[in-house]
Chain A
Amino acid sequence: MEFGHFLSALTPLNLALALFGVVAGTVVGSIPGLTATMALAVLVPITFSMEPASALILLGAIYTGAIYGGAYAAILLNTPGTPSAIATTFDGYPMAKRGDGDLAVALACFASVVGGLVGALALLFLAPPLSKVALAFGPIEYFWLSIFGLSLIASLSTGNLMKGLAGGAFGMLLSCVGVAEISADIRLTFGSQMLIGGFGVVSALIGLYCIPVLIDLVAVPDRHLKVEDDVRSVRIGEAFRLAMRSKVNLIRSSVIGTLVGILPGAGGSVAGLVAYSEAKRTAKPHQKFGEGEPDGIMAVESANNATVGGGFIPTLVLGIPGTPPDAIVLGALLVQGVRTGPTMFQQSGSIVFTFIYGLLIATVLMLPAGLLIGRYAYKSIVTIPKAVLVPSVAFMTIIGTFAIRNSVSDVLIMLGLGVFGWIIGRFGFAASPIVLGLILGPIAEQGFVQGWTIGAATGNLTGMFFGRPISQAILAFTLVTLILPPLMARRRARKEERHT
């Protein structure tokens, strides 16, 4: 951890790689369907001829840039560019609609940098102890974590609980289609080859979020986003002041993101949701989450970028990749001859620490790069005439969906879900609960089956499900999330009654 590693991260080549990585990652991440995983997979061979540390810096920079880039489409098109940015749409798109899209993009950038720094610092200073978190989470903990995630539907859809829950249940049902992840059963395909691969999260994201936006764009004559005529393109200062005011939110969300990132199999989408609901739970009375509240964007964006550093903790310390992009980095390391695991910090310490400093530097570089690209992205989306915007976005949805695994089935599923999403949207059903159900369903199912198998084998089912301390804590959080919003609503209603 000496200063020397910091200096070796600072070579011109490494700086250039970090900058290039962040920019490339941001662009890739901003396109729905193109994920960090893909960008890394294509670029890994280039890194074979590099020094291991430089290779890692490039890969880490792309990864962190892509997670930030996912916010653009979420804010400007209501379509998460990556699953991590699902919760960014909640407040990002309303902000963009009312003409604050530039502010939202700048806020996302500040928050992503803070989150990225917190995650990378945790990786630098606390990796070995924090890696124990990954091991403390057994099947049952994942089961309860996913139930907690589902309970967030309740807090996200205040006043519309039944519809939210119905959407969540529908999403879980969709997640059952295809070859089951652990039992290898083929379910609900009705003999069709098309459904054997199931409903992919990314194709569902594109369909359920993007298609309804496109249909609405065509159906109404107004401009896509409201644009203020007076010149106020520079809103970086305003964003900075807002971010400074929300220090607590930023730090809390970053810590949540780091911790969730350490859990293999949870990922940026869960981190963003948990941070969002925490921010909403502790909101001040004047804040209206879901209607364009800056704190909502900041919570999600800081949390999902914190998962980058967090996810590298089990990857480097235990050799267990936290996320699919981590798995690719792990593969690249193996080819480079670097063995991950507990001894890595001693044996390959110089590579690891140079990499971590490189990640920190890349995160800092994301600030100018992200603000610049963000402004460009915002300007092009608001100024492009609808007649050009709609076909190009429609084209991207199809290319993006096809690119996931070169499957026409995925494109058909995406289009079908899109039209379906638009129809049920008219009846007040939102896309997010469905996608939440789709993401969390398999985690819940696997955790339940594994926990039940182990519990039944050891003859202690109750202890398995309710006796473990971490499970109990998650269960308690879940109950609070479920019970609190209706209680608060009732109290508020009573108060208003008294006033009138």
Chain B
Amino acid sequence: MLRRSILKLGAALAVTAGLSGAASAEINGPVNYIIPFGPGGESDISARFQQPYFKDKFGEDLVISYQPGGGGAVGWASLNGLTGDGQTIMGVNLPHIIIKPAQKDVGFTTEDLNLAYMFHFTPDAIVVRADSPYQTLQDLIDDAKANPAQVTMSGSGKASANHLAQIKFDKMAGIQTTYVPFKGTGAAVTALLGNQVKAEWGYTTVGAKQGDQVRLLAVAMDERHPLFPDVPTFKELGFDMVGGAYRGIALPNTASEETTKLWSDMIADINADPAFRQQMLDGGFAMLDVGVAEMDDFMKARAEEYLKDAREAGLIK
């Protein structure tokens, strides 16, 4: 961290020195990539995957640091106070940045965040243990119909992507399951593997990580995930569910349009690398390319959907 301050100072000096000729945006020196969560989650893992490609393509280091607190709110609330010279970026997550400010004053609003790029999503999926009696999604629905509320499902956090998916699916299938919130996907998976719950609302990434210890019953994608050719989509089974948790990066809102555009282009470049795409797919992610140009429309559509779901679920007023 000390090192980062020194780096920042160095970057600041470099910027001042180069003021005369700096018409177009560029990055000078290591970039501070803040993850507003602790290490080990999907946000951290994807940043780690991006790290070597960034170094490779643009010659600078991505220095990842963690600023957990308030389910990401501490980081996002501080983002616009940071220097907008393009040397500091922060990970952003949907639905968090939409739902949290809608619930209460958390120190930032969705509109305040200067989003540069959304690079992937982890599609919602229902995960069961390999030895679970639920072979298909229908088995789970039947059990939940016969025993209302007795089917327990773990998931990461409340008012989160997992929780919204659970509420939505229960309504569509006309069933009542019990959602048990855990701190992060890791803990939710541990509870599933340890037989504490009957199923988990997770992501395709859980299936990639846990291998044959688990079975996915359905995934919330338009088409099947290449890693799980045998797992049907919710759509195939008659439930109109596509979505999950979306991730991208934002810059302080003092960053110039050129700087934001530069980051949008750089992340797009990494996202377009075939080797990177393959790595991400192997990890269970689903790629997404939303640059600055398309960001407003994308966010508007997502916000509408998330807020509607959350309102119907009684999570926000």
Contacts and interface: CB of A to CB of B under 8 A. Distances in A.
B71 interface: yes
Contact of B71 (A37, A179, A334): A179
A135 B210 CA distance: 14
A45 B55 contact: yes
Interface string A324-341: 101110111011000111
* Best-surrounded residue of B38, B100, B183 (most CB of chain A within 10 A): B183
A327 B104 contact: no
Contacts of A45: 51-52, 55, 61-64
Contacts of B62: 45
B186 interface: yes
Contacts of B171: none
B107 A458 contact: no
A197 B74 CA distance: 6
Interface stretch (B21-29, B156-164, B253-261, B299-307): B156-164
A45 B105 CA distance: 36
A207 B77 CA distance: 24
Contacts of B138: none
B190 A403 contact: no
B49 interface: yes
A221 B51 CA distance: 52
A197 B2 contact: no
Contacts of A330: 40
Contacts of A138: 191, 194, 196
Contacts of B45: 331, 334
Contacts of B71: 179, 184
A264 B107 CA distance: 31
B159 A184 contact: yes
A500 interface: no
B74 A407 contact: yes
Range of interface residues on A (Cβ < 8 Å): 35 or more
Interface stretch (A146-154, A242-250, A314-322): A314-322
Given A193-B107, A335-B49, A327 B44 contact: yes
Contacts of A198: 69-70
Contacts of A321: 40, 186
Interface string B11-22: 000000000000
B2 A182 contact: no
B283 interface: yes
B70 A179 contact: yes
Contact of A319 (B70, B103, B183, B210): B210
A450 B181 contact: yes
Contacts of B210: 319, 341
A38 interface: yes
Interface string A131-173: 0001111110000000000000000000000000000000000
Nearest to A136: B194
B180 interface: yes
A197 B70 contact: yes
B213 interface: yes
B107 A324 contact: no
A287 interface: no
Interface string A42-79: 10110010000000000000000000000000000000
A224 B160 CA distance: 51
A81 interface: no
Given A184-B157, A264-B190, A196 B74 contact: yes
B60 to A, nearest CB: 11
Contacts of B243: none
A446 interface: yes
Given A334-B45, A406-B1, A196 B193 contact: no
Contact of A405 (B61, B69, B100, B283): B69
B317 interface: no
B66 interface: yes
A184 B103 contact: yes
Nearest to B283: A334
A183 B61 CA distance: 37
A446 B77 CA distance: 25
A331 B48 contact: yes
Contacts of A44: 48, 51, 64
Given A139-B196, A264-B190, A453-B180, A41 B65 contact: yes
Contacts of A41: 39, 64-66
Contacts of B213: 341-342
Nearest to A37: B39
A402 B65 CA distance: 13
A310 to B, nearest CB: 15
Contact of A320 (B61, B157, B190): B190
A335 B62 CA distance: 14
Contacts of B1: 34, 38, 402-404, 406
Contacts of A326: 40
A134 B186 CA distance: 12
B200 to A, nearest CB: 13
Contact of B40 (A178, A331, A457): A331
Query: Which 10 A-B pairs give the minimum distances between C-beta atoms?
Result: A327-B40, A197-B69, A135-B194, A403-B1, A457-B178, A405-B67, A197-B74, A179-B70, A138-B196, A327-B39
14 contacts: A41-B66, A135-B195, A178-B70, A179-B106, A186-B106, A197-B69, A265-B183, A328-B40, A330-B40, A335-B51, A339-B209, A405-B67, A407-B74, A446-B182
Given A45-B64, A265-B183, A405-B67, 16 more contacts: A41-B39, A41-B66, A45-B52, A45-B62, A135-B190, A137-B194, A196-B106, A198-B70, A314-B190, A324-B40, A331-B44, A334-B49, A341-B209, A343-B211, A405-B74, A450-B196
